[in-house]
Chain A
Amino acid sequence: MATLETVSDYVTQSRILLQDTVQPYRYDDESLVTGLNFAFYEIARIRPDILINITLTQRVAPLSSTGDADVPNYSTAYESDPVYLPAMYRVSAVYFICGWAQLRDTEDTQDTRAAAFMNKFTASMLTLPS
């Protein structure tokens, strides 16, 4: 049974949506965890309330602090670390990771999928389907 609790869960579930479950992987762990870290930057921008009271996992100390919302960061060296996201927004982070991974691809067909994932991430953060 799959759940979204740890960094490795997010990587695994992103691979399923990216259809990249057979080794050697097209998207390595490093790029997917980078996508997870970047998802938190976007969350801090559009939904800062999600980061209120969050327990930070700072494996790498930020080089500069602007005094704005701190975001957790994750590393492939610690894939069993829990990702502190409320249950209702975990799937959204997977959409962002997939969109971010596919944005780097050069094929035209991937651009559409990347945009779809990114739009799905933003929509699930800001709106309710009615």
Chain B
Amino acid sequence: MSADFDILINSVRARLPSALDGVVRLELQNVLKDFLSESNLYVDTIPISVLVGQTDYHIFSINGIINRLMTVTDNYNNPIPCSLVPPTLTVQDFVVRLAIKPSTAATFNAYVALTPDPSVPVDQSVPDWVIAKYREGFEDGILARMMTQPAKPYSNMKLADYHGRKYRKAINLARNEALHAYKFRGQGWGFPQGFVRSGQYQRI
């Protein structure tokens, strides 16, 4: 358990008298899932060994639950047209489906946005840096959810609205930061290296 997680729980305790730790942790699980689902900030890279002529590849992440396929890149880091097929009752894994059959065997990378695994204790379900960086946002999310619960000593719709708005703002900030790869005035997208021209050329 990180120091930031302790600060988060203690801050919530101070603001919600008579709230139970079990319920705070339950709401933190809900907040984490919602926050990560909307911001796409927790991304895992899964290598895929593609085979000639095969379009479907099962993927699995040990770091969380796959929520969204961000992109698949080839061995030159160029994006590949593809889609994500969700699990069914008979197929347990997500499947990456390439739009074009590969013509050579290679290692591609699938970038997937994750949400926390609910079977893991909440303080171990995301990396420490996530809690450290967005602690105030998570706190606002927990407070908003707890305060909307009916007939509790800490029920307070007015404050729930206030914290709810701060929480939405924190999600937007996190989404933008992840989109720009945490670079000041930068962008996450990079020019495909396979198409880079070196040296000077004259436009005709």
Contacts and interface: CB of A to CB of B under 8 A. Distances in A.
Interface of A: 46-47, 49-50, 52-53, 86, 88-89, 125-128
B20 A50 contact: yes
Interface residue range, chain B: 10 to 19
B151 A52 contact: no
Q: Specify which of A46, A49, A88, A89 lies most central, judged by the most chain B CB atoms within 10 Å of its CB.
A: A49
Interface string B66-97: 00000000000000000000000000000000
Interface of B: prevailing SS = loop
A46 B155 CA distance: 14
B101 interface: no
Contacts of A86: 20
B26 interface: yes
A127 B153 CA distance: 4
B153 A49 contact: no
Given A126-B151, A126-B153, A128-B154, A49 B23 contact: yes
B199 interface: no
Interface of B: 17-18, 20, 22-23, 26, 149, 151-154
B18 A53 contact: no
B18 A128 contact: yes
Contacts of A50: 20
Contacts of B17: 128
A52 B153 contact: no
Contacts of B22: 49, 52-53
Contacts of B26: 52
B15 to A, nearest CB: 12
Nearest to A92: B18
